[in-house]
Amino acid sequence: MSVFGTYEWSVASINCTQGCLNNCNYCYARASAVRQELIKKDSWISLSTRRSVSREQELYNGMVMFPSQHDIFNENIDDCLSTLFNLLGAKNKVLIVSKPRIEPMLQLFYHLADYMNQILFRFTIGCSDDTTLHIWEPEAPSYEERIACLSTAHALGYQTSVSMEPMLDPNNIVADVMGMIRFVTDAIWLGKMNYIRERTRDVPEHEIVALERAYSNDSIQRIYQCLRFNPKIKWKESIKKVVGLPLIQIPGQDQ
């Protein structure tokens, strides 16, 4: 059975917060929480601590992703650090995923330095255009701030990677990749936005239509042909299906 989503990268996902301040218009975690009636529709941007923060963590058989359903902010940095110390103290390899903000990232870089060899940072940077970022991720950091976090992590000696899932400006994806690849030690992941119309809210119709067109099979094939031989490019399941690449069968196999 093929695996997809976070299981392409990890064998498990750990979270310490309910809700997220980024308020991304395509957020799968918010859509899921609303569907399960765990939150009211407009309460996602109110953060609360999960009981898992102080839980002793086991040693997982593979990479662990943190977080997958929220981000890392000044408002929850203590809970995030507590959870990470538990995971890393149990000798886990941890994939830290974020639309990064300078202040909390600097705290992670400082406090987690002793665990550097167990950590891979993966920063989500869907495009380089701030206008487009703001449409889809209204309260998330600017491109400049995210690149600053990426370059700083790289300069400090951390393993670094980028998630361009979802690609928010596919027409300029090659230039965007070339603009950040020098700060990447691991890989840049490319993927489409899933369930655009089912999950998206507060986005003008013409923006949705434009993104759908940019995700046409022909467009995806062009991106693939331009970047297929770059050893630092990896493809999420949504693109593998279009270009005919095999899907992984074991969680965390791709990382």
CA distances from 164 to 19, 97, 138, 168 (A): 22, 12, 17, 8
Residue (of 116, 34, 46) closest to 76 by Cα position = 46
Residue (of 96, 76, 69, 90) closest to 153 by Cα position = 96
Residue (of 122, 201, 121, 137) closest to 169 by Cα position = 137
- Right CATH number for 5-243 from 1.10.10, 3.20.20, 3.40.1000, 3.30.70? 3.20.20
pTM tops 0.75, yes or no: yes
Q: For residues 192 and 5, what is the distance between their CA atoms, to the nearest angstrom?
A: 11
- For residue 165, the model assigns a pLDDT of 97
Domain residue ranges of the chain, discontinuous segments joined by +: 5-243
Residue (of 140, 169, 160) closest to 21 by Cα position = 140
- With beta carbons less than 8 A apart as the criterion, state whether 42 and 69 touch: no
- For residue 255, the model assigns a pLDDT of 53
- For residue 37, the model assigns a pLDDT of 66
- For residue 41, the model assigns a pLDDT of 64
CA distances from 159 to 29, 116, 120, 154 (A): 26, 8, 5, 7
- For residue 152, the model assigns a pLDDT of 98
Residue environment code for 233-248, b if the CB has 16+ CB neighbours within 10 A, otherwise e: bbbbbbbbbbeeeeeb
Q: Where are the beta strands (DSSP E) in 147-227?
A: 159-164, 188-190
Low-confidence residues of the chain, pLDDT below 70? 1-4, 37-41, 51-54, 252-255
pLDDT in tens, 144-158: 999 999 999 999 999
